């Protein structure tokens, strides 16, 4: 009986509320009774349902920091996670930060991460990550609550100087200034505060953006999607330049992680054939027999779903995560094989010397090779053709375009062009979910020309159009691509069909 008196019963609370409609001043009494109960229930619900993702905790926050910096951060978060003065949600969040830091320490070979690094690397020495730029995935956004409008860029990739803790934040700050200057005034939100979010994989960035979009779109809220990226490029900070010699101590190999596999995306047809519930993962197409992936049990047609706790939604996620890992790190792998999930452990290899750094201006296939996948086979004989594709809203600025790619072979037919046109649409919809219409038709090609097009019509709303052009020389293709993109604000999306080389 005494126990039941400690908690207000539902009927008692309901009766109290009914009585309050008749008694002056009773709402003050009801608030005094109900508020602690509701506050406690709400706080408990938030704590129970909290996840690292919902609290913004990610390994992306710590990748690219050297071992010395990680070693200084770890005890601070450990102390907070054990602080009895903090509430349960705070302690849980601090514990997730500790987990993220230790995960990165293990990947980079820092001794305090629980696994010895190459040649006895210890905290304070440089981490074994690539000396060249490391890809991160950004999107920029701004919300004006007075006009109930949000403007957000689609996700774009940016190479950030490795082992420079400030480079990522300096780039985000510069991108925010550019977004505020060049984008926000023309879209009716000049007084809002911009923010550019960074993640270490494309899947995380798209997931983060989708969550943000769901919160700021809908009834009486307008959300504008823009295929925009800043003109500014990331560079090393002064501190990183002057302290480069100090940050790299003995044991820092400077070698990027390498799998030695050729991978591809999983389209709807392949997902159905393999028994996957959704289009996700990176499918293994070919293995280098001398690479660690073959020695550790990967097989063609395996679909990598997760590596070292990082979700793999598409091939770019696997490449960007592996590239950040030190050679010798034993990464847990979750794959899809024989219509079921399986667990593997895979030792990350070292990229061959000729593949350790990405060449500035390299094509998409070249960057894929340098990131640890195999180059496609020799090009078939035949005359070359040079093609590019665009996808854009009709009558509005923005849109995306591919680089010019080269194909060789006897098949210069419109049917082949329509296949690559459909592949480009599928890729763009995958990397920019929720932005492009899902009913863009197969398209048609114009007789006597190398131009194919398709349009998703909207009588109410914005129509979207896809185009592909092919030419006999690269100079012709580049000229047309540049001319068509003038004043359109196209963003570049790295893509080429499997037949490209």
d(CA 54, CA 158): 24
Q: How confident is the model at residue 404 (pLDDT cuts 50, 70, 90)?
A: very high
**Is position 497 within any domain?**
no
Q: Three-state DSSP class for 301?
A: coil
Quick one: 27 and 64 in the same domain? no
Quick one: 270 and 291 in the same domain? yes
Quick one: 389 and 361 in the same domain? no
Quick one: 235 and 180 in the same domain? yes
Quick one: 356 and 397 in the same domain? no
Pick from 339, 370, 401: which residue ends a domain? Answer: 370
Query: Per mean pLDDT, which of 19-23, 43-47, 125-129, 356-360 is the most reliable?
Result: 43-47
**Is position 78 within any domain?**
yes
Range list of H helices, 135-187: 167-182
Give the residue numbers spanning the domain of 438: 384-492
- Structure-block tokens of residue 489: 């604000």
Pick from 216, 243, 270: which residue ends a domain? Answer: 243
Quick one: 174 and 214 in the same domain? yes
Q: With a cut of 60, say whether residue 465 has pLDDT above it.
A: yes
Quick one: 138 and 239 in the same domain? yes
Quick one: 100 and 137 in the same domain? no
SS (HEC) of 21-59: CCCCCHHHHHHHHHHHHHHHHHHHHHHHHCCCCCCCCCH
**Is position 171 within any domain?**
yes
Average pLDDT (388-404) is: 89
**Is position 215 within any domain?**
yes
Total of domains in the chain: 5
The CB density around residue 128, as the number of other CB atoms within 10 Å, is 28
| Chain mean pLDDT for the chain | 74
* pTM given for the model: 0.55
CATH number for the domain including 270? 2.30.42.10
Poorest-confidence range of 204-208, 249-253, 306-310, 414-418? 249-253
Q: With a cut of 70, say whether residue 64 has pLDDT above it.
A: no
CA neighbor of 186 nearest in space, from 397, 471, 458, 477: 397
**Is position 500 within any domain?**
no
Each residue's pLDDT tens digit, 205-251 = 888 898 898 888 887 889 988 888 898 877 665 545 444 333 333 23
| Distance, C-alpha 302 to centroid of its chain | 22
Quick one: 277 and 304 in the same domain? yes
Q: What is the pLDDT of residue 118?
A: 36
Quick one: 264 and 366 in the same domain? yes
Quick one: 139 and 239 in the same domain? yes
Burial 222-248 (b: 16+ CB within 10 A, else e): ebbbbbbbbeeebebbeebeeeeeebb
Poorest-confidence range of 50-54, 346-350, 364-368? 364-368
Pick from 88, 120, 152: which residue ends a domain? Answer: 120
**Is position 499 within any domain?**
no
**Is position 53 within any domain?**
no
The Cβ-side half-sphere exposure at 492, using a 13 Å CA radius, reads 13
Quick one: 108 and 147 in the same domain? no
**Is position 251 within any domain?**
no
């Amino acid at each position: 009986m005494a126990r039941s008196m400690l908690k207000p019963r539902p009927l008692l609370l309901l009766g109290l509320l009914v009585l309050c409609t008749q008694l002056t001043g009773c709402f003050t009494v009801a608030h005094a009774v109900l508020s602690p109960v509701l506050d406690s229930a709400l706080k408990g619900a938030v704590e129970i349902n909290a996840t690292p993702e919902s609290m913004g905790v990610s390994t992306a926050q710590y990748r690219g920091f050297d071992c010395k910096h990680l070693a200084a951060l770890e005890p601070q978060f450990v102390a907070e996670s054990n602080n009895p003065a903090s509430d349960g949600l705070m302690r849980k969040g601090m514990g997730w930060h500790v987990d993220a830091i230790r995960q990165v320490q293990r990947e980079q070979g820092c001794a305090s991460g629980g696994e010895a690094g190459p040649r006895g690397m210890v905290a304070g020495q440089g981490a074994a990550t690539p000396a060249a730029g490391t890809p991160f995935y950004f999107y920029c956004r701004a919300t004006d609550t007075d006009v109930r409008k949000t403007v957000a860029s689609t996700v774009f990739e940016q190479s950030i100087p490795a082992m420079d803790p400030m480079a990522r934040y300096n780039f985000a700050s510069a991108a925010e200034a550019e977004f505020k200057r060049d984008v926000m005034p023309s879209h009716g939100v000049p007084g809002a505060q911009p923010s550019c979010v960074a993640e270490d994989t494309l899947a995380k960035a798209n997931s983060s953006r989708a969550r943000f979009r769901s919160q700021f779109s809908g009834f009486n809220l307008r959300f504008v999607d823009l295929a925009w990226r800043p003109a500014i490029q990331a560079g090393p900070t002064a501190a990183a330049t002057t302290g480069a010699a100090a940050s790299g101590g003995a044991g820092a190999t400077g070698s990027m992680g390498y799998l030695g596999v050729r991978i591809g995306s999983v389209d709807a047809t392949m997902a159905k054939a393999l028994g996957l519930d959704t289009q996700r993962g990176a499918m293994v197409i070919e293995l280098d027999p001398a690479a660690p992936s073959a020695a550790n049990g990967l097989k063609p047609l395996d679909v990598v779903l997760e590596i070292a706790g990082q979700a793999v939604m598409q091939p770019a996620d696997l490449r960007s995560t592996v590239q950040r890992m030190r050679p010798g790190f034993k990464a847990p792998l979750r794959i899809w094989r024989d219509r079921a999930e399986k667990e593997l452990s895979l030792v990350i290899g070292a990229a061959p010397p000729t593949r350790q750094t990405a060449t500035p201006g390299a094509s998409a296939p070249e960057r894929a090779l340098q990131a640890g996948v195999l180059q496609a086979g020799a090009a078939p004989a035949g005359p070359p053709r040079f093609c590019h594709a665009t996808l854009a809203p009709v009558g509005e600025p923005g849109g995306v375009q591919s680089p010019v790619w080269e194909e060789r072979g006897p098949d210069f037919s419109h049917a082949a062009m329509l296949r690559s046109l459909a592949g480009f649409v599928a890729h763009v919809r995958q990397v920019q979910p929720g932005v492009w219409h899902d009913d863009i038709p197969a398209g048609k090609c114009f007789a006597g020309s190398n131009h194919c097009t398709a349009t998703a019509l909207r009588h109410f709303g914005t129509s979207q159009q896809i185009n592909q052009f092919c030419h006999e020389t690269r100079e012709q293709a580049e000229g047309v691509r540049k001319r068509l993109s003038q004043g359109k604000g196209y963003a570049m999306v790295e893509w080429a069909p499997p037949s490209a080389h």
